[in-house]
Structure 1
């Protein structure tokens, strides 16, 4: 049976749409709540690494990692209790026998009921970092063949327990079978932390008064930016399910979806309330928030991380000096390992110019704002699910290469263990150290942390307010239903 061309194209389009819906996996769209193994699957192998000369050898590794998967915080657990009470109210006049609502809604209780503490590293998070430690040693045997010593392998973590627990889990994997403790042959190792009140290296966001002021001032504007999407989805859910949901209900259900899918691997409850297209829009609103408040949305977001970048550059320079001085391999530091938070990993990724195209990198060097990540279905580089998932990490590997090369030392960047392009170095993942230092690091390192963070600044014109007025003009009354 033949169809007219228009009908044929329509049926083909419908086929691909249905197929895409069937293969849709909500666990790939959870922003910073995404599990590490899922984030690695998303990244895939789309980028082909540079050809590295056989004689190039790693001589030092810098690791900046986020903690592994954690339980909801105490604040979020209280919000789930509020949501449970709210669902009781929404369902009190609904006939359960005649209703087509999902059965789980009736009598739903938070999985974290009767828990009085939160935010801790859970078993899955421990395993993420433990396995990362094992893979790191396997990938860089030259760096980790020495017996453990704190001067060779300093491990630092913030004083927040999930970060320090992640450091311990990683170390257990990294030094597995290198000691004589227990059946696994574990060995003791040191994890050091700075006071939370003065940790400008790994918790610079907590010590930066100007950043705190900026974030507090911009959070209402970010919420305003998300409102049209939330309102549209709320109306759709009211129509679809016949319950009088509010915007707050939808936000709560979306957060519940993310926690269920990530921590419990449950995707057929809260997540099933949303269509794939709605999930993509909700993910985009999360990505906007991360971009504006923690990423490229404001230069202070990442430039306050200059103490960490200084530490990374200093460690590389010390390794180069030790190599040039002819010190024996294993007599100087081989890896500097750090464990912190999304608020650490995100700014650091921005400081080294990841997840940008070339023209955008030039903009941040001139301290000019970037456009917000484009709305679905347009493609975007910035996905928080890959930028900073649970256990997300950046490894900066310093290589020593043959002397007949015009550049003797190179930096390779691995994001979540995979090579990633550096727009500041011609979109290569293998950058001469001097170019990395001068082109990527130096423009940021000319800033002083105390000046950035603790000097009273003049209130700048809000780029976000300009963007808001551009995207949602005051006289815009046409609903965005077509985009959903």
Structure 2
């Protein structure tokens, strides 16, 4: 019995050691994850549909997030403050060591003299070379995967490319287009060709920046952010206590939040995983990742129906484009006379609500709850498994594709839609958990329930407006006000003369 117990203990230690060695922190960075690192992480239990040989793709919709970007100016300032505070903590530790209270041996060497890699940078948030590469290769892979869709000579009405006015999104669209039309033009040695990227003003872009135009959402987010921070505090406090004990430095909760952000930026942008990320154990990384995923769920995802209902104009646009493609097919329009692909490049705040509108990443009976407008439970805390992970829902360059197929030999439906997330077919609860859904079923079960929510009704506060009065009535009111004011002035003037 003692020998069996010992063997079991040794086996557990080996398994634990192996798990630590195979743990890749870059797969646990929530929405700061790089596309190539996480795109192939999928539900191995799901078997993608075998598309019948007679089915042919006739139209493609793409909704993609921009590629990997540099930190924003606000975040770079946060890292500069972290560097300053780390210097204070290290000086305090040296003083404590001189008094014999702590040991400096526990402090990681890289912390001494550390400065932010982005120190002195005046601009931020731009697409970096890694992000350009992500979108460039996505364009190449989509053309290779659907050659029949991209065999036409380029025309902006056949291959529509749209982006938000934010430079990292439009730059992503350009990188994608260079890959998509690679070798199809006459510009330079690479035979590139020019193509159009259409952008809408930020103030009115309800297709790709609906969250910026939705007043109710902005109010909701502002009101919920403090509550989200409160939810994260117990985890941050737990990790803070662990790191204070481990490294003998008096970290604050804010230090840990900033070090976790630094870990994500170093790992994703610089492939550095042994500095800030090395401060945390695998279980601590899992907890910090979960807090990020909670925030994503509550403020951008299924946590509130407003988060995704405001994306209804985008859903309508996607369905309309497929209906137009079906009409062109039914009316036997010649190839080159109708749109074959509509591709959009935006942000996590666009991709996440759109994924929710499609019903992706739901578990069990959650789709029925969404349909009946019931709230969902928060994603379960590690080590429990969960579908909702920011690293797969919306990594850099994360995307949803809806590919419309014509299946003339099918007796029940002539048109089907394949739904892919990050290029991988995914189960859709509204379509009996298949990835290949009859177009009419998609419309009836998934799209139409959302269409009863009008964007203006969802987003704009409806105030009671007084009935407009006739012009003559308003004119008489103005004259009355002027005469009454004149009489009041004359009375006051007379009163002053009497007093004098």
Q: TM-score, normalised by structure 2?
A: 0.89
How far, CA to CA, are the matches of 2:46 and 2:36 in structure 1?
A: 18
Following superposition, the deviation at residue 135 of structure 1 comes to: 0.3
Are 2:403 and 2:418, in contact at CA under 8 Å, matched by a contact in 1?
yes
Gaps of 5+ in 2: 98-102, 464-500
Give 1 or 2 for the bigger CA radius of gyration: 2
Find 1:278's aligned residue among 277, 284, 295. 284
Match for residue 75 of structure 1? 74
How far, CA to CA, are the matches of 1:196 and 1:321 in structure 2?
A: 32
Match for residue 152 of structure 1? 158
How far, CA to CA, are the matches of 1:94 and 1:404 in structure 2?
A: 73
Q: Runs ≥4 in structure 1, deviation > 6 angstroms?
A: none
Match for residue 260 of structure 2? 254
Q: Does 1:62 align with 2:68?
A: no
Deviation per residue, 1:429-472 (Å, 9 max, x gap): 00000000010011111110000000249xxxxxxxxxxxxxxx
Q: TM-score, normalised by structure 1?
A: 0.92
How far, CA to CA, are the matches of 1:93 and 1:375 in structure 2?
A: 35
Match for residue 19 of structure 1? 18
Are 1:210 and 1:456, in contact at CA under 8 Å, matched by a contact in 2?
no
Deviation per residue, 1:75-133 (Å, 9 max, x gap): 00011110000001000033499433111101111000111000000000000000000
Q: Does 1:7 align with 2:13?
A: no
Q: Which aligned pairs between 1:43-442 and structure 2 lie closer than 5 A?
A: 43=42, 46-95=45-94, 98-442=104-448
State the SS of the aligned residue for 1:421: coil
Are 1:358 and 1:427, in contact at CA under 8 Å, matched by a contact in 2?
no
Gaps of 5+ in 1: 458-484
How far, CA to CA, are the matches of 2:255 and 2:219 in structure 1?
A: 28
How far, CA to CA, are the matches of 1:448 and 1:39 in structure 2?
A: 35
State the SS of the aligned residue for 1:394: strand
How far, CA to CA, are the matches of 1:225 and 1:379 in structure 2?
A: 19
Are 2:106 and 2:246, in contact at CA under 8 Å, matched by a contact in 1?
no
Match for residue 42 of structure 1? 41
Q: Does 1:449 align with 2:455?
A: yes
CA RMSD of aligned residues (A): 1.3
Instruction: Flag the 1:249–1:404 CA change in 2: closer, same or farther, 3 A.
Output: closer
Deviation per residue, 1:359-387 (Å, 9 max, x gap): 10010011111010000000001011000
How far, CA to CA, are the matches of 2:400 and 2:154 in structure 1?
A: 22
Q: Does 1:31 align with 2:30?
A: yes
Are 1:80 and 1:256, in contact at CA under 8 Å, matched by a contact in 2?
yes
Deviation per residue, 1:245-280 (Å, 9 max, x gap): 010000000000000000000001000000000000
Match for residue 478 of structure 1? none
